Structure 1
Amino acid sequence: MKSTIRTCMASVAIAAVMAAGTVAAQADTWKYAFEESLTEVQGVYATKFKEAIEANSDHTVELFPYGTLGESADIMEQAQAGILQFVDQSPGFTGALIPEAQVFFVPYLLPTDQAHLARFYKQSKAINEDFESLYEEKGLELLVMFPEGEVAMTTKEPVRSCADLNEVKFRVMTNPLLVESYKAFGATPTPLPWGEVYGGLQTNIIQGQENPTFYLFSTKIYEVTDHITYTGHNNFTTAVMANSDFYSGLSDADKKVVEDAAVSAYDYIVDYQKGLAESELKKIKEAKPEMTITVLSEEERACFKEAASVVEAKFIEMTGDSGKAILDQLKADLEATKN
């Protein structure tokens, strides 16, 4: 019943968006949907982006948080169709559309050091040049990618090694490589849209999921799990895109306004996230003192790191020469932005 109501509400919201005008290039009000609430990281980024656009142009930006226009797949379809001018979506969902984007789910590719990540996303050739053409082929203009924090596993039983994930039904995004990652880790990967995760954990349909720390608190996912484990295997990446036809139809002045807004919002969100994981983890402990929080040692991470090589090989198998070139360039970019 809840799913039906949510679908109906999304349909009404979409109809309202379309009624406001679908000729994106002529619109004075630009529509921007994302996968989180207004107070979560994507929402904070979107708010700063909106403020910059409105301060430097006559345009306004209307924001659509998670759920107002449906699930992640829905907002991507709307962005490609030109109903939305902007969309923020993780490569976790975009990976089925753009296979090379799955590279961000190769375990232990990205560092956990947030300062290094901030430099990497801003300066990476792979992100800022190579991915641009891949997104464009799908009717999308890639504006920026940014990190949302180290991914943590939340489970009902403790995790100290891959063996502890044996037969655990672990929720993953609908991403082929993420499925392969959790297979390699020993779990039973179970793709589910986010709207079904809390209930799935509550009813034991699934027994685990992964997300950055701030999201574990804001979505109250800690209420239906008992253990948070940091394996250091990934950092959550998200991407802000524009509809290609809309973007190409903008004047040079408006393109500059959009590009400058994307950069200024990036700088803000990187600074905003400093200490965010620690503060939200503290809130989780206050809300649920019995929650166990574990950071695996290098020895305990060994099996996960061993699995990473299997996943990397699978990524190259899935994406061929194009994927390998992206992976090699990302590795070079990471090395170049170490200091």
Structure 2
Amino acid sequence: MTTGKWRLFGGLAMAAAIATGSSAARADSWKYAFEESLTEVQGVYAQQFKKYIEENSDHEVQLFPYGTLGESADIMEQAQAGILQFVDQSPGFTGSLIPEAQVFFVPYLLPTDQAHLARFYKESKAINEDFKKLYADQGLELLTMFPEGEVAMTTKEPVKSCDDLNEVKFRVMTNPLLVESYKAFGATPTPLPWGEVYGGLQTNIIQGQENPTFFLYSTKIYEVTDYITYAGHNNFTTATMANEDFYNGLGKDDQKLIQDASKAAYDYIVDYQKGLADQELKKIMDAKPEMTVTVLNEKQRSCFKNAAKEVEAKFIEMTGDSGKAILDQLKADLAATK
């Protein structure tokens, strides 16, 4: 009788310990790194992702803004190694890892209309099916891609045609197709990590760079350039990913939680960006009234659009049948979401 009681109590204690252990296992702390500050678009998205996870589970999400864990290449390596559970990185930096991701740098492929872009990223077969397979080949679970705004060129001299970029050392991300784009535009493309860009412009090592408007303001790049030019040639794309082994090791409930958090953050960030570029441009002009802003007309854009054909051909040459299939599917998706 006594032995039976102890067995019963022992069994209950073990069950309680297992239950406690299970609960602790469910309440994990996940690490998420991104390429911008907390107050920039990727940071705002990350905060919404974190908020959803923490409000709907016992998990914690730790956020690591740009610079806290190194440059873009560093956080990607950490995500692939499983040190980070989540990473947000532009295809501009994953282009050497996933060559087909460079398609987002084919000039004039993406529209400038925000509503169209929002539908496209959400519904695109290329993004939500084809790219998922390509990212999985690199040990990454692609959660979502989203736009960050029309890209603007900032330079020290005015740009009204491709001729104005002749011999201009133009900073680009370490992306082979972006290098080809600026060669086709007439510039001298100069790949540099972001941490060297402000100083490079300040010391005239480079004379230009491109980024969305909000980033021009938040990073104070306007302080070391004098002209902002909108040629309509691109919209900045970024992607959020999970380490694939981590993601596949989760239960279905946690996988659904992550997918739902991604969707909620996507809807939030698309709405958040409405009017953001105009607001941030006004801040730039308030801080530096002598800054010249130019929106190129169709005639002025013609040389850039002609160069885009050359870049598209180069993309297909770099990526072969796989790249061509992605490009064709993206074009079909863009037409379907107009």
Is 1:229 the equivalent of 2:221? no
Count of residues in Structure 1 that have an aligned counterpart in Structure 2: 314
Is 1:127 the equivalent of 2:127? yes
SS of the aligned residue for 1:110 comes to coil
Aligned match of 2:118: 118
Is 1:212 the equivalent of 2:212? yes
Aligned match of 2:3: none
Q: Distance in 2 between matches of 1:237 and 1:158?
A: 26
Contact 2:155 2:226 (C-alpha < 8 Å) held by counterparts: yes
Q: Distance in 2 between matches of 1:56 and 1:327?
A: 37
Alignment of 1:296-315 (within 5 A): 296-315=296-315
Aligned match of 2:149: 149
Is 1:36 the equivalent of 2:36? yes
SS of the aligned residue for 1:299 comes to helix
What is the Cα deviation at residue 177 of structure 1? 0.1
Could you tell me which amino acid in structure 2 is paired with residue 42 of structure 1?
Answer: Q
Alignment of 1:155-234 (within 5 A): 155-234=155-234
Could you tell me which amino acid in structure 2 is paired with residue 29 of structure 1?
Answer: S
What is the Cα deviation at residue 111 of structure 1? 0.2
What is the Cα deviation at residue 117 of structure 1? 0.1
After TM superposition, the score normalised by the length of structure 2 is 0.92
Alignment of 1:2-13 (within 5 A): none
What is the Cα deviation at residue 181 of structure 1? 0.1
What is the Cα deviation at residue 27 of structure 1? 7.3
What is the Cα deviation at residue 283 of structure 1? 0.2
Aligned match of 2:244: 244
Q: Distance in 1 between matches of 2:253 and 2:90?
A: 28
Aligned match of 2:335: 335
Aligned match of 1:87: 87
Contact 2:33 2:75 (C-alpha < 8 Å) held by counterparts: yes
Could you tell me which amino acid in structure 2 is paired with residue 128 of structure 1?
Answer: N
Could you tell me which amino acid in structure 2 is paired with residue 157 of structure 1?
Answer: E
Aligned match of 2:18: none
Contact 2:94 2:101 (C-alpha < 8 Å) held by counterparts: yes
SS of the aligned residue for 1:57 comes to coil
Aligned match of 1:8: none
Is 1:291 the equivalent of 2:276? no
Q: Which entry has the higher C-alpha Rg, 1 or 2? A: 2
Q: Distance in 2 between matches of 1:266 and 1:225?
A: 32
Contact 2:75 2:87 (C-alpha < 8 Å) held by counterparts: yes
Could you tell me which amino acid in structure 2 is paired with residue 277 of structure 1?
Answer: A
Could you tell me which amino acid in structure 1 is paired with residue 90 of structure 2?
Answer: S
SS of the aligned residue for 2:330 comes to helix
Output one character per residue of 1:204-237: Cα deviation in whole Å (capped at 9) or x when no partner. Answer: 0000000000000000000000000000000000
Q: Distance in 2 between matches of 1:321 and 1:54?
A: 42
What is the Cα deviation at residue 34 of structure 1? 0.1
Q: Distance in 1 between matches of 2:122 and 2:40?
A: 21
What is the Cα deviation at residue 26 of structure 1? 7.6
After TM superposition, the score normalised by the length of structure 1 is 0.92
Is 1:102 the equivalent of 2:69? no
Could you tell me which amino acid in structure 2 is paired with residue 271 of structure 1?
Answer: D
Q: Tell me how large the CA RMSD over aligned residues is.
A: 0.8
SS of the aligned residue for 2:331 comes to helix
Distance 1:172 1:300, change over 3 A: same
Identity of aligned residues (%): 84
Q: Distance in 1 between matches of 2:260 and 2:307?
A: 40
Contact 2:26 2:59 (C-alpha < 8 Å) held by counterparts: no
What is the Cα deviation at residue 146 of structure 1? 0.1
